[in-house]
Amino acid sequence: MSPKIPSTPANRLLKSRGIAFTEHCYSYVDHGGTRVSSAALGVPEHSVVKTLVLQDERAQPLIMLMHGDREVSTKNLARAIGVKSVEPCKPEVAERHSGYRVGGTSPFGTRKAMPVYVERTVLDLEKLYINGGSRGYLVGITPADLVALVAPTAVDAATG
């Protein structure tokens, strides 16, 4: 029996905007990250995009979208967006801003509007897989649809 597809603010937003997307459920593993989800979906980890809730030195939240097989250089990101520093939000703070549980954070349909940044090369992918708003649930969309939905600012902040 296949897992039940959840109804989330993210997939409701995608449907309401008429965005074509594929839905992919997998068995969520705590701290398994994109390594687990890419293996379960049979796609390159580079095509799985993680949604990170970070904050600047004034505790202003922001979202960074990064390839699953790369890490964010917070120094490079801060420099790229013109702030002094950037750091990850504590899980409870990230959940308060996004409305999603950590491990199930989607950039779509967040509780609070936040600026969205994307690693520039994510936009070169043919298709990307990104969290659909629930642990163990990714949606597949095109970079063009990602841009249409969240209007991210492209930056060079990857390391690794």
pLDDT of 102 > 70? The answer is yes
Band the pLDDT of 160: cuts 50, 70, 90. low
pLDDT of residue 5: 87
pLDDT of residue 4: 79
pLDDT of 2 > 60? The answer is no
Band the pLDDT of 1: cuts 50, 70, 90. very low
Which of these, 54, 61, 65, 58, lies nearest to 87 by C-alpha position? 54
**Eight-class DSSP state of 122:** G
Please name the residue that has the structure tokens 């890419």.
38
pLDDT of 89 > 60? The answer is yes
pLDDT of 3 > 80? The answer is no
H/E stretch holding 74 reads helix 74-81
pLDDT of 80 > 90? The answer is yes
Cα dihedral 72→127→146→14 (10° resolution): -130
Q: What is the pLDDT of residues 22-68, one digit of tens each?
A: 999 999 999 899 999 999 999 999 999 999 999 999 999 999 999 99
User: How confident is the model over 71-94, as a mean pLDDT?
Assistant: 97
Going 150 to 117 to 22 to 110, the CA torsion angle's sign is: negative
